Amino acid sequence: MNATILAPIAGLDAFLADAAKLLPTGALLRGEACQPYEADASSCRGQAAAVLLPDDTATVSALMRAAVRHRVRLVPQGNRTGLVGGAVPDGSGRQVVLSLARMRRLRAFDPLNRSAVAEAGMALSELNRLLEPHGLWLPIDVGSDPAIGGLIGANTGGSRLLRHGDVRRNLLGLEIVLADEQGSVLDLLAPLRKRNAGIDLKQLFVGSGGALGVVTAAAWDLKRRDASVLTLLAALPSRAAALDVLDACEQRFGEMLSAFEVMGESALMATLRHFPALRHPLAESAAGCYALVEIASAMPGLDSMLQEQAETLLATLLQRGLLIDAAFGRPDSLWALRDSLPLALAAEGLPLSFDVGLPRSRLPAFHAAAERWLADEHPALRLYDFGHFGDGGCHLIVLLPRECAAGYSPARLAMLKSALYRLVADHGGAFSAEHGVGPLNAAFYRKHTSDAAQELAAGLQRLLDPAAALGRHRYD
């Protein structure tokens, strides 16, 4: 049942009157002032009845109480870098954005415990800037700058997931405001690595897209910054070879393998066309794809050992025909190639983006099947791929050349997306690898999630949010 339709709207004015009393001056926005909060980094746009900017947990709790009482829907929002529209209100003009942007304090920092407690509105870059002098960081490495609450809402992955894991794996604790009549504050913030004292409730909220509670603060398991780093670009004959090279890198470097990002040859060429200042160190090698490989350790003084080991490994891979060529390079210039890809592809035409996750052993077969399918069914469209190959993540872009766009109605595009996600499912994959669930992929959640799993998620949401007062995406 869709709770959006059921949510009564009569209480909106009464709620806003209450909210105005609870918030400091300038912290309740209406009309045009809401515009910046009505979109995220996806194509999603909505219309907010208002935007609320609380300063502290007690105010979030009071606002939640009022929202439940008046049956008004709050949409929690971080830095709006999400790619599925999860923080964007719908188009009804009746949903209210709850932005945590003013809650950005570092509440606690314990260098000996390697932990920090940061409020939900603090930007990831700000947290890492504060930690840098202590040689520590929160190792979620993304091309955007999310807020702490958004990291948890989306369970963000990123380029170092292979070594450090996603948000879930780096989280020690949470403070959550619940959507019950009291606006209860659930304090699960203790920065403990060992706590096996019952159900780990905090994990319920990770990746739930703000649908089960409002994150107001989080405790993090910090990591030492890398002191020895080796970065190289490898030109490879095929994605099947990429898999063998990945395996060989893991055998040689173990947990020091920090990133293994694969870029299709056509994706890299498009990037060089659009960013001519970028330098491609292997421009002459006719490769099927490229791997950006990073090997790193927090232990200082390993650089020459890493270089020697990598050279030996590369020589073996060349002999085995798994490698065409390779170049060591400065991390920033090699990562610039990878990080410029999405922007370059967007400039090539109209991109349809797919963030899919597969068992990494099946990535080459999946890619080949996707290429065949596109050539057969949509020969005018182009396929690009790049992504976190090392952890099974794949960003696929189906590009519509501008001259073809008119031939693709919304219904035809929906069929195209369905067919691609079917292919992902046939290869044992997930329709969302790291961007989470929101209005942009909600239909695929319904299609590719078992009835039993959907019913359990819906039951959880009904239990935690009986008044349907929270979250853009509803599981019920």
Ligand X SMILES: Cc1cc2nc3c(=O)[nH]c(=O)nc-3n(C[C@H](O)[C@H](O)[C@H](O)COP(=O)(O)OP(=O)(O)OC[C@H]3O[C@@H](n4cnc5c(N)ncnc54)[C@H](O)[C@@H]3O)c2cc1C
Q: Summarize as ranges the residues that interact with ligand X (CB under 6 A).
A: 40-41, 75-83, 86-87, 100, 120, 142-144, 146-147, 149-151, 153-154, 156-158, 209-210, 214-215, 434-435, 438, 472
CB 98 → ligand X: shortest distance, Å?
A: 8
| Closer residue to ligand X in complex, CB, 87/397 | 87
| Closer residue to ligand X in complex, CB, 116/241 | 116
| Closer residue to ligand X in complex, CB, 46/210 | 210
| Closer residue to ligand X in complex, CB, 191/210 | 210
CB 100 → ligand X: shortest distance, Å?
A: 4
CB 272 → ligand X: shortest distance, Å?
A: 19
Matching residue, tokens 């899919």? 356
Task: Give the closest residue to 217 by CA, choosing from 139, 131, 107, 137.
Answer: 107
CB 61 → ligand X: shortest distance, Å?
A: 13
CB 121 → ligand X: shortest distance, Å?
A: 8
| CB-CB contact of 312 with 249 (8 Å) | no
CB 327 → ligand X: shortest distance, Å?
A: 24
CB 321 → ligand X: shortest distance, Å?
A: 31
| Closer residue to ligand X in complex, CB, 85/364 | 85
| Closer residue to ligand X in complex, CB, 44/302 | 44
* Interacting residues of 149 by C-beta distance below 8 A, sequence separation 6+: 76, 78, 100, 120, 121, 210, 214, 215, 216, 218
- What the block records as the tokens of 242 is 């990429």
| Closer residue to ligand X in complex, CB, 183/209 | 209
| Closer residue to ligand X in complex, CB, 149/191 | 149
CB 343 → ligand X: shortest distance, Å?
A: 8
| Closer residue to ligand X in complex, CB, 93/439 | 439
- Cα–Cα distance between 476 and 455 in angstroms, integer? 8
| Closer residue to ligand X in complex, CB, 264/438 | 438
CB 305 → ligand X: shortest distance, Å?
A: 30
CB 435 → ligand X: shortest distance, Å?
A: 6
Backbone angles phi, psi at 214, to 5 degrees: -100, 120
